[in-house]
Amino acid sequence: MSAGDPPAPLPGARLLFSLDPAVSYLNHGSFGAVPIGVQRAQQRLRDEIEANPHKFYTQGMLDRVIHTRRHIASFLGADPDGSALVPNTTTAVSLVLQTLRLGSADEVLLTDHGYGSVAMATRRQCRRSGATARTVALPLAASDAEVISRVRAALRPGRTKLLIIDQIASSTSATFPVREIAAAAREHEIPVLVDAAHVPGMFPVDVSAIGADFWVGNLHKWAFAPRGTALLAVAPQWRRRIEPLVVSWEQEEGFPLSVEYQGTIDYTPWLAAPAGLFTLRTLGWEAVRAHNAALVAYGQRVVGASLGLAPTDLPQPATPEVAMRVVPLPAGLATTAPEAIALRLLISDKLATETAVNAWGGRGLLRLSAQVYNRPDEYDRLAERLPPLLAGITTAR
C-alpha cells in the first residue's frame, strides 16, 4: 500500500453498528455511534431497573458506579479516587467554573479553538462574578512551540485564575501540547482545565502525567460508550473544594460521590461503558487507531483535492493518530455559525452524508471523521458530489 492509498477495512467492523446504510456517516466526532453489543448491554441494565426500580437504586448501585469509575479511570491513566463520572465535558466545565469562586479582578483564559458551549459557560460565570473571559488566538497550523509561546505570553499571573485548553479542538481538529502548557501555567500557580472531549478512545492518554488541575474526556465519542458518559479527573489540591451542580444524598461524602450520585438519573450509560471499552479491545485498539487515522487522512486528501486545495493547504495534526481532520471551504462559504449549520444540513439532505461544518477564523471548515464502519468510497463520493453542490450555492448568490 502506497502512502496515498486508503487503509483496508477491519473485517466485520461495519456489522457492529446499526447505522443507516443509506447514509455516509462521516461525523463520528459529534455524537459517536454506539456498537450494537453496547446498546444491548445498556438495554439489559434498563430491563433490570424496570424489573425492580427500588432494588436497583438502593442495593449496590453506588458500588457498581464506583467499580465502573475505577475501570474507566484505569483505562485513561487517571486516579480513580480523584475522578468522577459525569454526563459530558460541558457539565464538567460548569462544575469547575462554579468551584473556582471567581472575583471581579479575575479572568479566565480561553483559546479561539475552544468549544462553543465551553465559551458560553465561561462567559456566563464571568458575568455573574464580574470576572473577565479573555481569548488568545492560535493559528490553525501552529507548531507546538508556537502554541506554548503564545499561551505562556497570554497568562497574567495574579489575575488569570483558570486556563482552559483543548487537547483536541472540536472545530479545527488541532491538537495541543497540554502537558507542556500545564507545566508553564504551574510556574505561575495558574490552574488548568484540559478539555479532552475527543481523547478517550482516539489515542492513548496518561491523565495523571499531564499534570493538569482538571481534565475531562467523553467516553461516548471514540470509546464506544453510550451517550452521557465522561470522566472528570481532579488534582488532589482541588478535590475537597469541588461543589456539585446539584446537591443530593451523597453530598456529605464529598468528591467524587457527591458529584456522581444524582438521585434517579439514568446511570445505565456509565454502567454499560465498559462494554464499549471491551469492544474497542476486541477490535484491537492499535488497529482501530491506525485505521481511523489513515482513513481520515485519505478523506481529507481526496475531498481537499476536489476543492482545488493542494496538500500544503490542508491543516495537518501535530498528533498523527487523530481521527478527525478539516478541509477549508472556498472563501465566503460558511463564515458564520448560521451559514455553517445551513451548509451541514444541505450536505445531509442533498448528499445523504453527515459531516460537521464550523465557522472559524472567518472561514468555513468541513470536518471529517473516520471510524471503523467507514469506507474509502464514502469520501470518494463526497469528493465527487460536494464541488457541484458548493458551486450551486455560489451561483445562487
Q: What is the pLDDT of residues 323-357, one digit of tens each?
A: 999 999 999 999 999 999 999 999 999 999 999 99
pLDDT above 70: percentage of residues in the chain: 98
**Alpha carbon distances (Å) from 191 to 145, 279, 303, 307, 396:** 21, 35, 40, 42, 49
DSSP 8-state symbol, 330: P
Per the CB < 8 A criterion, the answer to whether 130 and 159 are in contact is: no
- Please, which pLDDT band fits residue 5 given cuts at 50, 70 and 90? confident
pLDDT score, position 396 = 54
Do you know the residue count of the chain? 397
pLDDT score, position 11 = 86
Mean pLDDT of 261-269: 95
Contacts of 260 (CB under 8 A, 6+ apart): 65, 69, 84, 85, 86, 250
Q: Is the pLDDT of residue 318 over 90?
A: no
Q: Give which of 115, 159, 111 is closest to 135, Cα–Cα.
A: 111
User: pTM value?
Assistant: 0.95
pLDDT score, position 397 = 58
Residue 12 falls in which region: left (phi positive, over 0), alpha (psi -120 to 50) or beta: left
Q: Give the DSSP letter string of 191-213.
A: -EEEE-TT-TTTS---HHHH--S
Helix (H) or strand (E) holding 98: helix 89-100
DSSP 8-state symbol, 358: E
Q: Is the pLDDT of residue 1 over 60?
A: no
Q: How far apart are CA 121 and CA 140, in angstroms?
A: 24
Residue with cell 445551513: 342
Contacts of 23 (CB under 8 A, 6+ apart): 352, 353, 354
Per the CB < 8 A criterion, the answer to whether 279 and 224 are in contact is: yes
Mean pLDDT of 235-263: 94
Mean pLDDT of 307-328: 94
Q: Give which of 287, 254, 255 is closest to 372, Cα–Cα.
A: 287
DSSP 8-state symbol, 224: -
**Alpha carbon distances (Å) from 232 to 89, 216, 252, 274:** 8, 4, 19, 17
Q: How far apart are CA 286 and CA 289, in angstroms?
A: 5
Residue 24 falls in which region: left (phi positive, over 0), alpha (psi -120 to 50) or beta: beta
Per the CB < 8 A criterion, the answer to whether 194 and 180 are in contact is: no
pLDDT score, position 394 = 66
Per the CB < 8 A criterion, the answer to whether 231 and 209 are in contact is: no
* Beta strands at 363-369 and 324-328: parallel, antiparallel or unpaired: antiparallel
Cell, residue 342: 445551513
Q: How far apart are CA 308 and CA 341, in angstroms?
A: 23
Q: Is the pLDDT of residue 169 over 70?
A: yes
Residue with cell 453510550: 226
